[in-house]
Amino acid sequence: MPELVPFLMFQKDDAAEAMNFYVSLFPGSAVLSEQRYGPEGPGKEGTIVMAEFTLAGQKFRCSDSHVRHGFDFTPSMSVFVTLDSADDLEHTYEALLEDRQALMPLDDYGFGPFGWVNDRFGVSWQLNAPSV
C-alpha cells in the first residue's frame, strides 16, 4: 500500500532547527532518523540530507536543499492540526507565531477556536480546537 508523507524542503539550512522545534511542540512526537551532509557535500556540512520525524503520530520528512529554488513555502499548503483544548491551541499558536505572520488571528470563526500562522521557517499552520 502506498505511504503518504508530507515533505518539507528548507532552503536556509534550518531543517534540523525546524524539525526539533516542531517535535518539542506536540506530544507523541519524535525524530526517527536523520542523515547529514559531510565535508564532501554537496550541501553545507552538518545540514540535513533527509530526516524523518513524527508530529503527534503523523510521519513527516524534511531536508535542507543545497539547490536554491525560485519558490519556497506557501500558505496554500499548510499543516492542519486539531489540538485537545483551547489552552493547547493558544500555547501552540503563540509558539508558532513568535515574530511571524498571523494569517488568521486566534478567534472563533463560526466553527470553533481557530488560528492560522506562518512560522519563522515559512511553514503554514492551521490550528483549531474543539468548541467548548
pLDDT in tens, 40-95: 999 999 999 999 999 999 999 999 999 989 999 999 999 999 999 999 999 999 99
Please tell me the CATH code under which domain 79-128 is placed: 3.30.720.110
Q: State the greatest distance between any 2 C-alpha atoms of the chain, in Å, as a whole number.
A: 55
**Which CA distances in Å does 14 have to 19, 21, 87, 108, 115?**
9, 11, 28, 33, 24
- Grid cell, residue 24, equals 518539542
Mean pLDDT in the chain?
94
CATH number of the domain at 7-64, out of 3.40.50.1820, 3.30.720.100, 2.40.50.140, 3.30.360.10?
3.30.720.100
Contact 11, 47 (CB under 8 A): no
Per-residue confidence at 107, pLDDT binned at 50, 70, 90?
very high
Strands 48-55 and 7-10: unpaired
pLDDT class of 132 with cuts at 50, 70, 90: low
pTM of the model: 0.91
